Amino acid sequence: METPVPQLITILSASIAPVIVISGVGLLLLSMTNRYSRVIDRARELTRDLEGAGETPRRNLIVEELRILYRRARILRLAIILSSVSILFVGVTVFSLFAGQVLGVRADTVSVPCFAFCLIALIGSLYFFIRDVGISLTALELEIAHYVKQN
């Protein structure tokens, strides 16, 4: 069974918007994974510093920073998972559109909810990403509080 060229053009046109979402979410995912890697690396550095800190005020500061970093890592992990789920739903959306066109059946019962779930997962991912950005400032404030007086 051969699909005519005009029908293929329709299939590709219907798939363009979801595929653009994959590109955008992919860039967000890259940024999130870079932040996640940096949080993990920083936690490892602080853990090494903690072992040599003894029972000093610096030790308490390191412990608090590690708590913040662990919280950030969990939040970033959730943002990464939601971004990945978003891409998964886009893939299912494109597949259902393609299958619907090729098989000549209505695909909107699958593609519309999948695209909606994609957007919901993306919104959730961005929410947690924004939370991480806010929390990262808390860790910085702990680190520099001794050197900079807050107004």
3-state secondary structure the chain: CCCCHHHHHHHHHHHHHHHHHHHHHHHHHHHHHHHHHHHHHHHHHHHHHHHCCCCCHHHHHHHHHHHHHHHHHHHHHHHHHHHHHHHHHHHHHHHHHHHHHHHCCCCHHHHHHHHHHHHHHHHHHHHHHHHHHHHHHHHHHHHHCCCCCCC
Residue-wise pLDDT tens for the chain (151 aa)?
Answer: 566 777 667 667 766 777 788 899 999 999 999 999 999 999 999 999 888 877 778 888 889 999 999 999 999 999 999 999 999 999 999 888 888 877 878 888 898 899 999 999 999 999 999 999 999 988 888 878 778 775 5
Q: Does residue 38 form part of some domain?
A: yes
Question: What total number of domains does the chain contain?
Answer: 1
Q: Does residue 117 form part of some domain?
A: yes
Q: Does residue 113 form part of some domain?
A: yes
pTM for this structure?
0.82
Q: Does residue 149 form part of some domain?
A: no
Q: Does residue 151 form part of some domain?
A: no
Domain carrying residue 99 = 5-144
Q: Does residue 150 form part of some domain?
A: no
Q: Can you give the pLDDT at residue 28?
A: 94
